[in-house]
Structure 1
Amino acid sequence: MSLSGALNSAVSALSSQSSALAMISDNISNSSTYGYKTTTASFESMLTGSSSSAYSSGGVSVSSVSNISTAGLLVASTTSSNMAISGSGFFVVTDGANSNQTFYSRNGEFTTDSDGYLVNGDYYLQGWKTDAEGNIVGSSTQSSLTAIDTNSVATIASATTKMSLQANLPSNAATNDTFTSEVELYDSLGTAATSTVTWTKTGDNAWTASFSDPTAADGTTQLGTVSSSDITITFNTDGTLASTSPSPATLSIGAWTTGAADSTITLDMGTIGSSSGLTQLSSTADTLAVSLTQDQDGVSYGSLTGVEIGDNGTVYANYDNGEQRAIYKVAVATFNNADGLTAMSGGVYAASSESGGSTLHIAGTGGAGDVLGSKLEASTTDTNQEFSNMMSAQQAYSAAAQVMSTVNKMYDTLISAVR
């Protein structure tokens, strides 16, 4: 009985060490795989009943331990759409652009495919749509997740809807004196236009501002027609803005020859009682003039040149007109027991009963890690440690094989004695 027990123990050792070597082989082969998490062998003894007069061997069994929650080192990437999570959490991916089958990954080696989606192999990165300032449109829930599609924002153009003006209207100008300035604006098709502002002093601390019909860059081709009335402006005795009429001041433009929609532009001429916009102070210049500074929210037509990842997992679109707009936020999923996830091919994981369901977060909130652009998470494989484990497995395997050889010889001796 003891010889057969020894043989069974040796066989279990061969089987267990073979499994351990397979895990080591996987770890070494994936030492350059971004986001890869090692699997280690956990050995457990198997004992049967024994007494002081007899010993019955049991052997050994092995199980795999997934080290999914162990973070790898972050390394720099020259691809602007690559990303890594610093801290807890996983990227949310699906196996199709419109698929509801959700998986999770730490491999942020995402690139734009021919259809404009951010993908890693066969998996599509999920995120929430945002406005131009990076605020999520709608809710940050599972149902609002969508595949990140850069083709949906392949071009950009927007009309001017807001314009702020900063200038000093000289208080020492004579009544009925006029001054001109130019402002740039855009129609809804992204066509640039220029309008001339005529400032007319109508009395003490009183002015009007009138806008000319917008023209093209040549200064002569009319592109639209101003339909709003002149703006009346008054100042306090300390030169700060007292009022505008209408309030807020607006500029309305219609009949665009470009085919664009009518424009209504809100003019910010400053805060009442402050010098944040228009002021009326004395000028010491030999020739009085109005030097105007403007800021407006319109954008000329531009084509997408690429995407990059910013703070909190915000995906930005870059355009050839120099504009950059936020378009999506990358979702980060966390689990109560990340090590309980089920590993799948392609470096992704599926939720299981051991891992529990996922909780979605904006990066850097609710315990989720930060998403860093132009970074990748290296494999957690330590090749030095794996080579050490491999030699240990080899020695244990050879020793178990020697036990089998010894048991074989002892059986031969027993059989010879019987004969």
Structure 2
Amino acid sequence: MGWAIAYLRRDLLRAMRIGFVLALSAVTAASLIQIGLLDLSPPARLTSFAVVLGMLALRAAEFTRVRPVPIWVDALELAAFLPVAVQVADIDALLGLLFFHLLFRSSVAGLGRMLPLAAGYVAVWVGAALLEPRIKVYPGAIVSLCVIGFLVYSMRVLLLRLQDQHRSQSALLQAVLRRFPFPVLVADPAGGVRLANPAARDLLGWPPEGAASCESLNLTGPGGAPVDLRALGRAGTAAQEVRLTRPDGTTSDVLVEAVPIEEGVGTVFALLDVSAQRVYEESLHHAAYHDALTGLPNRAMLWQHLSAAAAEPSPYAVLLIDLNDFKTVNDTHGHQAGDDLLTGVAHRLRDAGLALDRRALAARLGGDEFAVLLPGAGTQPAERLAAALRACFLQPFPTSAGRLTAHGSVGVAVAAPGQHPDEVLADADAAMYRAKPRRIAS
């Protein structure tokens, strides 16, 4: 229903013709009932019915053709209507027909075809009155017939000019939108695409030409929930970011802003591919919270997770790991070997933590110092993880200088209720340094 209303609003002249056809159909039905109630012979009644329905069929043909029937058909219509008017002898049963037939003709034809028909109806009326004295002639009705027909014709001319202006404006708008460097999509309320400029078709993965529909778009919102572009247009909400999956399987992050043109008419969708921007933002976020060498979370991210763990009622454990004599590796084998050793240690610490608890977070604090956070863990899980971390150093690490053996000291601290994260880190640091002499002595 919405698309039909939108279509009629875009073509007001057609809407007016439809209104006249419906009114003419109702008036024709009323006239047939009135004729059926008159005291006429069966042949006269059937003839009258046939002529009245034939006149309605002619108007229907004009509605379909959007132009009047040939002028000789008008002459046949008038010639057939004259004996019917004489037989019926009640102009009140036919007067509504004359008005609406002329009104409809005024909506599809110019003055050259409207005025002759109006003159023909008046001539038939007057001629029937001369042949049948019971038929009355109403001069006021004759004047009204001509005046109203002219008014409808004037309205038709006005609507034609408005439609021409609308077409010109639409053509200008489409020409401008097609040249926009950014994607623009214009859709009707039913989801049909009225315009998609080349930038939009390229972004959406549509062919340069051909029909398209908003329904065919594969859009998802946060969490993978499907997003209907038509719903965004109806809601008229602020810009929303969605994930677009094209027909070829490629994806993009797209910012969509819906601008309703007019209620029931359609919506303009401005599209912006923000995939590169999101990748850049993610890279900045990763750089801010991860260690460039090892890829592990850095001190800033560790502190965020520590604060979150401290806010929970359950305890948590922090383990600090420091490599023994790492400077000797750099001095003896070079900084590249030292970097390779740090990367290998980082990966083993991360894997050992995750193997014990998927919530474990391994981080590089700087230099040769690492930390592992174990949320929601007490003393026993922390000691098991410490043993697993010490075991990471049992096997040599592959480096650019060959396989190197490394040793690390592990300090464990379990947070007490209400203890600040700084204090927990200090306890773990003290435990790590207490462990160093024992590791070196061994």
Q: Which of 1 and 2 has greater Rg? A: 2
TM-score by length of 1: 0.22
TM-score by length of 2: 0.22
